[in-house]
Amino acid sequence: MEFFQKIEFALIFLILFFNLFFFVYLINNSSITGFSFFNPKEKLSAPSDFIQEKDILVESDKVIINLSDYVISKYDSSGSMIPVLDQGANGIGVKPKSPDEIHIGDIVSFFQGEELIVHRVIEKGIDEQGVFFITKGDDNGINDGKIRFSQIDSVLVILIY
């Protein structure tokens, strides 16, 4: 009888071990939560190059950057974009003329209702309503859902600390 109790214990242990392993695997590879069990910080894409080298003039006492249709921004401390953005950072954004000017990795300012949010584009797609962007704060675990071009105010092109 003792032999069968040891076999039973070993089988229960193996079943629990493999269930735990499977659970961890599901969490680690979940596209639903966007969260990785072993590496909660997914790899982010870098912003695209909006400013051409020919548009940057460096002189001995100043730097001149030729931009048109720009906005100047100051950021609140929500914490969602740490370590890239935090209170005290200043930014210069460009108003995009079409969805083609916005790329995965770009940091955009957009409206959700009355609130202006600054997050990184992590996905770009097309559905029955047209082009959409999925954005998320660099220090957030949850994305903002589909953002439409009409909601986007600007794309961050210069960040000054």
Instruction: Give the chain's domains with CATH numbers.
Output: 1-40 (no CATH), 53-160 (2.10.109.10)
pTM of the model: 0.71
Question: What is the average pLDDT across 36-64?
Answer: 79
Q: Higher-confidence residue: 80 or 133?
A: 133
Residue 54 and residue 64: Cα distance in Å, rounded? 11
Contacts of 106 (CB under 8 A, 6+ apart): 47, 48, 120, 121, 155, 156
pLDDT category at 45 given cuts 50, 70, 90 is confident
Indicate the pLDDT class of residue 115, thresholds 50, 70 and 90: confident
CB 122 within 8 A of CB 143: yes
What would the pLDDT profile of 62-92 be if each residue is shown by its tens digit?
999 998 888 888 777 778 888 888 888 889 9
State the pLDDT confidence band at 31, using cuts at 50, 70 and 90. Answer: very low
Q: Helix or strand or coil: residue 99?
A: helix
**How many residues are there in the chain?**
161
* CB-side neighbour CA atoms (13 Å) of 96: 23
In 3D, which of 80, 108, 104, 76 has the Cα closest to residue 94?
A: 108
> What's 89's DSSP letter?
-
- Rounded to an integer, the average pLDDT of 3-24 is 64
CA angle 86, 89, 94 (to 5 degrees): 110
Give me the pLDDT at residue 46, please: 86
At 23 the pLDDT is 59
Of 107, 108, 93, 103, nearest in space to 131 by CA: 103
Closest to 153 measured CA to CA, from 72, 82, 87: 72
Full strand arrangement of the beta sheet holding 130-136: 70-74, 90-94, 152-160, 107-112, 115-127, 130-136, 146-148
Query: Does the pLDDT value for residue 100 go beyond 90?
Result: yes
